[in-house]
Amino acid sequence: MKIKIKDLGEFQLKPGSTLKDLIPEIKKISKELPVGFKYNDTYIDWHYTFNENISDNLELEPIFPSDKEALVFLRHTASHVLAQAVKELFPEAKLGIGPPTEEGFYYDIYYERPFNEEDLKKIEKKVKEIIKKNLSLERREISKEEAKALFKNLEEDFKLELIDEMPDSKVSIYSQGNFVDLCKGPHLLSTGEVKAIKLLSVAGAYWRGDEKNPMLWRIYGTAFFSKEELKAYLDRLEEIKKRDHRKLGKELELFTIEEDIGPGLVIWLPKGAILRSIIENFWKEVHLQRGYQLVYTPHIALRDLWKVSGHLDFYAENMFPPMELENRVYQLKPMNCPFHIYVYNQKRRSYREFPIRYCELGTVYRFERSGVLHGLLRVRGFTQDDAHIFCREDQLEEELIKVLDLVIYFLKVFGFSEYKIFLSTRPEKFVGSPEIWDKAENALKKALEDKGLEYEIDPGEGVFYGPKIDLKIKDVLGRFWQCSTIQVDFNIPERFDIVYIGEDNRFYRPIMIHRALLGSLERFLGVLIENYAGAFPFWIAPVQIKVLTITDRNINYGENVVKILKKEGFRVEADFRNEKLNYKIRMAQKEKVPYMIILGDKEESDQVISVRTRKGEIINNLKLEDFISKIKIENQPEYLLNELS
């Protein structure tokens, strides 16, 4: 049987034997051994067996340790090593699933109590012992009946449940030493090939994500092919911890989420409210300049509205429960779009009025499970920077291009110049006809291509009423965050039967574009906090300048400087306390204030100021008016935009 391996040549393999039999030959022609292979987008490891029925044109693509995809093999093997270690230390534990992930791997394990830090240390020690033993991995295909007997004997109830749901008559298992697991693969040749591994944390996770099922303990870890890569990753994790918006939100007094009020419900503290209001005011100003009309809508509506819109049929699990008042049923709004339909319907519309653009900073409520709530990034009440554009079909492409331009402008203003674009297509559950969906998807594709923007298809990830473009922004740590979204909707206008009068006096249906540039203010601000580690650009910093006096003698001069700066429109705080100057500077730096003005006898005598930046740069003997001229430039929203260009 002939096997082709890309760039390595053709090899003869006996039917029924594993790819491992080719290793001696491959070693003769390649300095480096692949960790595995890819065939038709499927990963195949050395343990795989081909039968006689394979095509003569079969060609495998080798995956080497330097390839990113090699981490799939490494981390999957690492998860099995973790499971083996847990079973050796805690024989009563029962195994769930243990996949590789983008950042590492995890294994869901049932045990009578949560694993603690001490357990984690013991497990990691055992993991390293198993790696040192360099146990060979073996793959076998067995019948479902054999698999059931095997895992019943091992008392692995979760594995039995998985076997029952598998459609094929045969399943694959992998073993290493005394350990065996139900698994499709792929894996490395042996445990010794896991060169650098670290267990990171433990969290609760319901079996299969269903809160009706038992709670398992998810042990997270990561693995790399070198200790240097692992160290770099762990250093990055430390930086992420420092930038955690929940930690900084508390330290900088930006927001709070209180259990007594309710999980996922954000209270904006004074400094956070200032930050948010600056962004909101800028958002409104830009939208009004671009031809949008501002609207406000209620937080609640009759349940019947959500029947017409389709939300009750396709989105009910994400909505808060209904409430009955005066024999009528109401529901908190999960989206703003139906309200904007009623704004549109306030009068008869003519083709001459289009496009009509409504915008709203609209607060919506969605029932996120408590297990997925995460600071500002996953909440239950949030404000979307929402807009809906009603246009004619001949205007659709131009409007989509304008929206794309506006999205990119906003992201760059806030310092985000790198992003990935995804086109999300029709999901399994949808309203409208496939033909309408195809039309909407093609409109989005054409707009992206006309703008020359690269994008990836994200199959089946559209919303129930239409396809969408998602922009994921890249932060300073290289993480991508979902924020901006643009959706084309032929369906909701039809469900609400909205029309306009065309040039020929006949009725036509407008097209609706849904779009959010920042996504939600909560999520965007969470990303913004972490991206800047709380050291915001000058124009959005809640406190821009702190005036520090060296002695009580300088308070009058300090008050005059504060008064002038406030009159110029800057956000200023004074620290005239009878404390040492170094202490005041440390406090201001901890609060991440962009500029500190330091005033002592010399400054007062010469009628100048000394300026210290939060980075520690010092400028002495500066005239106040010169400082104001400088920071007026920095106080412009487009300052970062100019810096990026």
Of 333, 326, 441, 318, the C-alpha closest to 372 is: 318
Intra-chain end-to-end CA distance of the chain, in Å: 58
Q: Which two tokens stand for residue 107?
A: 């294994």
Task: Report helix, strand or coil for 326.
Answer: coil
Q: Are strands 572-575 and 255-256 parallel, antiparallel or unpaired?
A: unpaired
Of 85, 179, 91, the C-alpha closest to 125 is: 85
Catalytic member of 183, 337, 391, 483: 337
Q: Where are the beta strands (DSSP E) in 116-210?
A: 137-143, 170-176, 179-182, 196-206
Q: Which two tokens stand for residue 361?
A: 């900073």
Backbone φ and ψ of 252, nearest 5°: -95, 5
Task: Report helix, strand or coil for 363.
Answer: strand
- What is the DSSP annotation of 24-92? HHHHHH-SS--SEEEETTEEE-TT-B--TTS-TT-EEEEE-TTSTTHHHHHHHHHHHHHHHHHHHH-TT
CA distances from 66 to 22, 33, 62, 245, 352 (A): 21, 11, 11, 33, 59
Residue-wise burial string across 194-222, b where 16 or more C-beta atoms lie within 10 A, e elsewhere: bebbbbbebeebbbeeeeeeeebbbbbbb
Catalytic member of 47, 80, 139, 366: 366
Cβ distance 377 to 519 under 8 Å?
no
Residue that is written with structure tokens 């499970």 in the block? 369
Q: Which two tokens stand for residue 563?
A: 């008064």
Q: Are strands 300-302 and 328-332 parallel, antiparallel or unpaired?
A: antiparallel
> What ranges in 414-535 are assigned the alpha helix state H?
434-450, 491-495, 521-532
- What is the DSSP annotation of 198-221? EEEEEEEEEGGG-TTSPEEEEEEE
| Region of residue 166 (phi > 0: left; psi between -120 and 50: alpha; otherwise: beta) | beta
Active site (annotated) includes residue 388 = yes
Active site (annotated) includes residue 391 = no
Q: Which two tokens stand for residue 202?
A: 């433990």
Active site (annotated) includes residue 366 = yes
Cis check: omega of the bond before 186, within 30 degrees of 0: yes
Using CA atoms, how far apart are residues 467 and 517, in angstroms rounded to an integer? 16
Using CA atoms, how far apart are residues 279 and 243, in angstroms rounded to an integer? 21
Residue-wise burial string across 308-335, b where 16 or more C-beta atoms lie within 10 A, e elsewhere: ebbbbebbeeebeeeeeeeeeebbbbbb
Using CA atoms, how far apart are residues 439 and 201, in angstroms rounded to an integer? 46
Q: Kind and range of the H or E element at 328?
A: strand 328-332
Length of the chain: 645
| Region of residue 328 (phi > 0: left; psi between -120 and 50: alpha; otherwise: beta) | beta
Catalytic member of 38, 333, 380, 468: 468
Cis check: omega of the bond before 15, within 30 degrees of 0: no
- What is the DSSP annotation of 512-532? EEEEEEEEEHHHHHHHHHHHH
Catalytic member of 84, 176, 331, 384: 384
Active site (annotated) includes residue 384 = yes
Active site (annotated) includes residue 218 = no
Active site (annotated) includes residue 386 = yes
Catalytic member of 119, 181, 385, 386: 386
Residue 281 burial by CB count (10 A; 0-12/13-18/19+): exposed, middle or buried?
A: exposed
Catalytic member of 402, 514, 515, 523: 514
Task: Tell me which residues are annotated as active site.
Answer: 337, 366, 384, 386, 388, 468, 514
